[in-house]
Structures are given as C-alpha cells and as structure tokens.
C-alpha cells in the first residue's frame, strides 16, 4: 500500500502529521509512506510548485494524502509557478476528475454552525465537484485594449465527455444514498451550463431509479443556507463546486471538518487511485502555531482507506473516533474551543 504524502504549505505539515499518526496507529500491513514536495515549499526547494520527482511519486503511489497549498511569499510569481498549480496539476496529471465532498453535522456541533440548529441537523449531503475542466483550465490571459484599459479573461468550457463521466459518478453516488441528485449550473446564462444540463439529462436515462433535479447556482447558494436538508447528492462544475463546498462547510460548523476525495478511473490492486485532502487551504495566518484543526485531514485519510484501499472498517473507525472526540467537547479554535493540533490528534488516536 504505497501512500504518497504531500504536506505542502502553511498548516499542511502540522495537520498531515496528525493524519499520518492516525494511520500509523492503525498499523496497516504493508503500508509505505513516501513524502514529496508540493506548493510554495516545493517552489523554494526546486523552483517549481510541482516538480517532476513529485509527479513520479504520485504516479507510483496507490493513493495520495495531500495537505494544503498557498503561500503569500509566492504572490509575486507568474501563475504557472504559484503554489495552487501543484494541486491543479496533480488533478490533471492523474486525471482525477471527480471530487467528493461530504458534509454532515457532527453530534454536539448543531449550535455552532451558521444555521439554526434544527436546520443544521438536517444536513447530510455529498457535493460531487468536477475537477479537470471549467474556467480553471480554460485559455486565459490579460491584454491592453486599444483604449488603454487592461482586460483579463478566463475561458469557461466543458466538453460533453467531461460532463458525462462526472455525471455517471454522481448518479452512482446517488444510487448508493437516497436516490436524489441535484445538478447545479447556470444554464439560463451560460452556454457551458446549457451543455452541462443537456448531457446530465442524457445520462439520467441510464439511471431511472435516481430522481434528478436542476438548480441554478445562485439559487443553490441560497437554498444551501435556507433549507439544506433538501439536498442529498449535488453535482456541479469546478468553479461552482469550489464555492458551494466552502459555503457548505460553514453550514456544518467549520471548514476544518470537511474532507475530500479526488478520484478518476485508475484502479490499483486495492481500489480506486485517488488524492485525499481537506477542503481548507494552508491558513498561513496560523501556520506553525499548533492551532490548526487536523480533523479534516484525518477524515481525508479515512476517505483514502475507504476508496483507495477498500478498508471500510478502518475508515469507519477513524470517523467514529473523530465524532466521539467532538461529542466529548474536543474542539479547536475554529469551533470556539481551545484544543491545539496535537491535542486533537491525541484525542482521535486515543479513541481509535
Ligand atoms: N487542501 C486544499 C488546498 O490546498 N486548497 C488550495 C487551493 O488552491 N485549492 C484550489 C482548488 O481546490 O481548486
């Protein structure tokens, strides 16, 4: 079981260390951890946020445990050298096109979310975000117009096969849950979204047992805080998914709790090859202070055991340990508590 460990920038190293500790305590036979550099840390050492040796490690691994990237010191760099290119590059390089972002409210946190407790309690949703297309990867540039004004552009596009493959992932996920799928787009304004909607409807014909609905992204943002209980599986594009899943994190209490799996179609001898990361970034303002909540990173490791190694029991063990720690009041600063990174890791480890 080869696991590439790319901690990255800011709080990445601190939270990844706790997730690795959890994995080591489980004492999984044959587990091998291989570290690699990504993000600003890699740019400092190798002059590039995603050096070739890191790409090689990623290719050789069965799964990747990824921390976070983002570094203010890199703000002056051209876009191709920015830390964020490490995560975008890995997703593209490994064709990891399906990002699964589950969101539920843990017991004991109902009063801590941005919603009324009775509304928050209803949340149990899975955002399926497309990762390889959209405006993030379209042609982009800046130029000066004839009248002297500067203009920037980013091309938004989806090819039908890109929509079809993420739609299949979402329909299958819906089949395994409540059988409800909501596709989020902006089809009243964007051609890209109209194609997205047409293709999702075509794919729906293969899943007659799934109830499909469509929602414009602006309405979805509103409904997510008004009545989140109406959603089960939500499928959407790269940009809308990035934004909606951060929004969802506040509906469940903290972005420090949301894990994610990025999957493609590569199968290893153990399961589906994937990259696992918290949805939060590198939080440079609290980096190195032992304050970051490692729970999202630990829960990402649980997703890795489930999807890439078929170790459902071990994944459930980790998730139960996190839930138990939260129910016992072990909370980081992000949840109004005072537990530090290491103390939260200890609490999870002791409950495994
Ligand atoms: N762990 C998530 C992370 O490092 N996020 C930084 C980032 O730039 N993410 C871009 C994205 O998720 O599309």
Q: Within this chain, do residues 150 and 77 fall inside the same structural domain, yes or no?
A: no
Residue 117 lies in a domain: no
Q: Within this chain, do residues 132 and 203 fall inside the same structural domain, yes or no?
A: yes
The phi, psi pair for 145, rounded to 5°, reads -75, 165
Alpha helices in the chain (DSSP H): 12-26, 39-46, 52-60, 84-93, 117-120, 160-175, 191-204, 217-226, 238-251, 295-309, 312-327, 341-350
Q: Give pLDDT, residue 25.
A: 97
Question: How distant is the alpha carbon of residue 108 from its chain centre?
Answer: 24
CA of 306 to the centre of ligand 1 (A): 22
Residue 105 lies in a domain: no
Structural domain count, the chain: 2
Q: Report which protein residue has its CA nearest ligand 1's atom 5.
A: 281
Give the nearest ligand 1 atom to 68 CA: 4
Which domain CATH number covers 166? 3.40.718.10
**How many C-alpha atoms does 208 have within 13 Å on its Cβ side?**
0
Instruction: Give, for ligand 1, the residue of 82, 84, 275 to mutate: max count of ligand atoms closer than 8 Å to Cβ.
Output: 84
Adjacent-strand bridge partners of 34: 4
Task: Please state the length of the chain.
Answer: 352
Q: Within this chain, do residues 63 and 129 fall inside the same structural domain, yes or no?
A: no
Residue 97 above 90 pLDDT? Answer: yes
Binding site residue list for Mg(2+): 218, 242, 246
Domain boundary among 201, 235, 251: 251
The phi, psi pair for 32, rounded to 5°, reads -125, 125
Q: Please, which pLDDT band fits residue 249 given cuts at 50, 70 and 90?
A: confident
Question: How distant is the alpha carbon of residue 2 from its chain centre?
Answer: 21
Domain boundary among 234, 251, 268: 251
Q: Please, which pLDDT band fits residue 32 given cuts at 50, 70 and 90?
A: very high
Residue 284 lies in a domain: yes
Alpha-carbon span 310 to 184, nearest angstrom: 30
Residue 140 above 90 pLDDT? Answer: yes
CA of 146 to the centre of ligand 1 (A): 36
Sign of CA dihedral 160, 162, 168, 171: negative
Domain boundary among 219, 251, 283: 251
Q: Give pLDDT, residue 104.
A: 93
Question: pLDDT by residue (tens digit) across 111-134?
Answer: 988 899 999 999 999 999 999 999
b/e burial code for range 262-299 (CB count within 10 A of at least 16 → b): bbbeeeeebbbbbbbbbbbbbbbebbeeebbbbbbbbb
CA of 277 to the centre of ligand 1 (A): 9
Find out whether the beta carbon of 37 lies less than 6 Å from any atom of ligand 1. no
Find out whether the beta carbon of 70 lies less than 6 Å from any atom of ligand 1. yes
Residue 57 lies in a domain: yes
Q: Within this chain, do residues 241 and 128 fall inside the same structural domain, yes or no?
A: yes
Domain carrying residue 340? 1-99+259-352
Question: pLDDT by residue (tens digit) across 170-189?
Answer: 999 999 999 999 999 999 99
Give the nearest ligand 1 atom to 136 CA: 13
Give the nearest ligand 1 atom to 39 CA: 4
Q: Where are the beta strands (DSSP E) in 25-149?
A: 32-35, 63-68, 98-104, 124-130, 140-144
Q: Within this chain, do residues 264 and 210 fall inside the same structural domain, yes or no?
A: no
Question: pLDDT by residue (tens digit) across 202-219?
Answer: 999 999 999 999 999 999
CA of 137 to the centre of ligand 1 (A): 14
Q: Report which protein residue has its CA nearest ligand 1's atom 8.
A: 84
Find out whether the beta carbon of 71 lies less than 6 Å from any atom of ligand 1. no
Rounded to two decimals, the pTM is 0.94
Residue 90 lies in a domain: yes
Find out whether the beta carbon of 130 lies less than 6 Å from any atom of ligand 1. no
Q: Within this chain, do residues 331 and 240 fall inside the same structural domain, yes or no?
A: no
Q: Within this chain, do residues 225 and 186 fall inside the same structural domain, yes or no?
A: yes
Question: pLDDT by residue (tens digit) across 99-110?
Answer: 999 999 999 999
Q: Within this chain, do residues 51 and 132 fall inside the same structural domain, yes or no?
A: no
As to burial, measured by CB atoms within 10 angstroms (0-12 exposed, 13-18 middle, 19+ buried), residue 216 is middle
Task: Point out the residues that are catalytic.
Answer: 136, 186, 218, 242, 246
Q: What is the pLDDT averaged over residues 56-73?
A: 97
């Amino acid at each position: 079981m080869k696991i590439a460990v790319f901690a990255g920038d800011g709080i990445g190293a601190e939270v990844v260390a706790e997730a690795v500790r959890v994995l080591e305590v489980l004492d999984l036979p044959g587990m091998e951890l291989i570290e690699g550099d990504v993000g600003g840390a890699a740019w400092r050492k190798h002059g590039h946020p995603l050096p070739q040796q890191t790409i090689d490690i990623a290719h050789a691994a069965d799964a990747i445990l990824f921390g976070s990237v983002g570094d203010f010191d890199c703000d002056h760099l051209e876009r191709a050298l920015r830390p964020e290119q490490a995560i975008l590059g890995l997703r593209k390089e490994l064709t990891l096109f399906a990002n699964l972002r589950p969101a539920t409210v843990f017991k004991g946190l109902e009063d801590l979310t941005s919603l009324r407790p009775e509304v928050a309690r209803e949340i149990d949703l899975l955002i399926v975000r497309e990762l390889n297309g959209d405006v993030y990867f379209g042609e982009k540039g800046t130029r000066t117009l004839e009248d002297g004004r500067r203009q920037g552009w980013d091309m938004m596009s989806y090819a039908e096969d890109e929509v079809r493959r993420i739609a299949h992932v979402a329909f299958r996920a819906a089949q395994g849950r409540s059988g409800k799928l909501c596709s989020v787009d902006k089809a009243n304004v964007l051609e890209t979204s109209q194609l997205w909607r047409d293709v999702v409807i075509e794919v729906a014909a293969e899943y007659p047992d799934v109830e499909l609905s469509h929602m414009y992204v602006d309405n979805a943002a509103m409904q997510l805080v008004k009545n989140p209980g109406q959603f089960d599986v939500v499928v959407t594009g790269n940009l809308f998914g990035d934004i909606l899943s951060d929004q969802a994190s506040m509906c469940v209490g903290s972005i420090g709790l949301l894990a994610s799996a990025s999957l493609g179609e590569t199968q290893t001898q153990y399961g589906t090859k994937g990259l696992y990361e918290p949805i939060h970034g590198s939080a440079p303002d609290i980096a190195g202070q032992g304050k970051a909540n490692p729970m999202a990173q630990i829960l990402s490791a649980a997703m890795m055991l489930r999807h890439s190694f078929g170790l459902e029991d071990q994944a459930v063990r980790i998730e139960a340990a996190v839930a138990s720690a939260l129910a016992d009041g072990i909370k980081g600063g992000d949840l109004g508590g005072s537990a530090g990174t290491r103390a939260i890791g200890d609490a999870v480890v002791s409950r495994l």
